[in-house]
A and B are shown apart, each in its own frame.
Chain A
Amino acid sequence: MSEQRKAAALISGGLDSMLAAKVIIEQGVHVEGINFFTGFCVEGHTHAIRERDRAKPKRNNSLWVAEQLGIKLHIVDVIEEYKDVLINPKHGYGSNMNPCLDCKIFMVNKAKQWIQENGFDFIITGEVIGQRPMSQRKQTMPIIARESGADDLLLRPLCARNLPETLPEREGWVDRAKLFGFSGRSRKPQMELAQQFGFVDYAQPAGGCCFLTDESYSAKLVDLWQNRGTKDYELDDVMLLKVGRHIRPKSNFKVIVAREEGESRFLEGYKKEFTSLISSSHSGPLALIDGEPTDEDLALAGRIIARYGQGRDAEQVDILVRSQKGLEQTIQVAPFAPEQIAEEWFV
C-alpha cells in the first residue's frame, strides 16, 4: 500500500479554501489546515467589542470550517512578520491598503516553511484564476508560486486544470482529472460544488477576509502613518482603528470617541497607554487621545466629546482628563454644536 501523502491547506474560513481542502481530502490525502493571523483578519476580534454585536453568534469561521472538514487547524500568529508585508509591499497595494499579492506570497512562503518543519508534502490554496482583481489572476499565479518558494508544491485544486501540472499531480499523489478548472468572478461553480459536498452553511465574506480591503479602515491607517510621520504600527493600533469615531482636529493629536457602551469598556483597557477623557457631570462616552496634545488641545477634545454625551445641550460640561500615569484634572468646556465639528476632522 502506498504511503499516505500529507497536505497543508490554507484555510481562511471562506468557501473556496473549504472546497479546495475537501477536494484533496476526497482523494485520500491527509489534510491539516493552517490559518495565519495578521492582526487585520476579519475573522478576528471585532465581535468582542461592540455591545450590539454581543448577541450575534460568535464563530470563528476558520475553526468552523476545520470542524466541518474533520481536520486539525493550526492558527499561526504572524503579526510581527506581517508588518513588513504591509509597510513595504513589493507589488504595491490594491484599491485600498491591501497588499494582496505580497500577502499571498508571504502566506504561501510561511506554509512552505510549515510543511518542511512538520513533514508534509504539499500546500493547497482555494485560489481561483480571475476571482480577485489583484492576487488571483492568471499572471499572478506563477508569481505567487515562484516568489513564495513553494514552486510546484503549491496546488490550487479549484483551478488546477487551467495551470501547469504540479508535483503532487505528476507524482500521482492526486488525480488531476478529479481537480477543477474554475475561472472568473462567478461564484456559481463553487456553489454547485458546495452542494455536491453537502455544504449548506458557509461564510460569504463580502469584502474578502481582511480589514485592509475596507476603504474606511484604510483611510484611518493612512492617517495614522501620515500624522505620526512613520509607516509603522503595533497591534494596539490595529485594534483601535476598528473602534469608535476617529476625529483629528489637528495634526498633533486625534480623539477616539466610543460610540457605545461596549466600545467604552474596550477603550477602558487602554487608559494606561493613552490620555483619556470622560464627562464627570453628565453621562457620556469615554475617549482616548492619540498624540501629544497641549492643554488647549485637551480643551478642544473635551468640547468634542461633550457633544456626544448627555450634556450636549448644557452650557458647560465637566470633563475628567486622566493622564497615562493616572494624574487627573477636571476641565470645564462648552460642548460643540454638531456643525462646529468640521467634516474634515472625521478620519
Chain B
Amino acid sequence: MSRETLNARRLLCPLPVIRTQDRVKRMAAGEQLEVICTDPGVMQDIPAWCRINGHAVLETKTEDGEYIIVLEVGE
C-alpha cells in the first residue's frame, strides 16, 4: 500500500485541511496519506473533512508536540 507524507507543520487551520484536500485530489482511492501538523485544531478538522468527503481516518496520534493523522483516500 503506497503512503505519502504531507508536511503541514507551522500551518494553522484551515490551511492543513486545504493542503490535505489538495494532495488527496491527486491521489488514487486506497492510497494513504500521513499528515504531520503542529496546530492541534487538525485533530478535529481533518477527521471532519474526511467524514464529509468519504475518506477514512486510519490513525491519529500526538508525538513530540506534533499531531499526526493517517488517512486512506476514499472512492
Contact = CB atoms under 8 A, between A and B. Distances in A.
A126 B41 CA distance: 26
B52 A72 contact: yes
B52 A37 contact: no
Contacts of A107: none
Contacts of B40: 48, 54, 58
Interface in A64-84: 64, 66-67, 70-77
Interface string A31-50: 00001010001011101110
Contact of A63 (B15, B39, B43, B52): B52
B41 A45 contact: yes
Nearest to B49: A63
B12 A45 contact: yes
B53 A72 contact: yes
Contacts of B41: 45, 47-48, 58, 60
A269 interface: yes
A37 B11 CA distance: 13
B46 to A, nearest CB: 9
B71 to A, nearest CB: 14
A44 B48 contact: no
A48 B53 CA distance: 24
A325 interface: no
Nearest to B45: A60
Nearest to B19: A77
Interface in B35-75: 39-41, 43-45, 48-49, 51-53
Contacts of A62: 14
Contact of A67 (B14, B15, B39, B48): B48
**9 pairs of A and B residues whose beta carbons are closest in the complex:** A45-B12, A48-B39, A63-B48, A58-B41, A60-B45, A66-B52, A77-B18, A48-B12, A58-B44
Interface of B: 10, 12-15, 17-18, 21, 39-41, 43-45, 48-49, 51-53
Interface of A: 35, 37, 41, 43-45, 47-49, 54, 57-60, 62-64, 66-67, 70-77, 239, 269
16 contacts: A35-B14, A37-B15, A44-B14, A48-B40, A48-B41, A58-B40, A58-B43, A59-B44, A60-B41, A60-B45, A63-B45, A63-B49, A64-B48, A72-B52, A73-B52, A75-B21
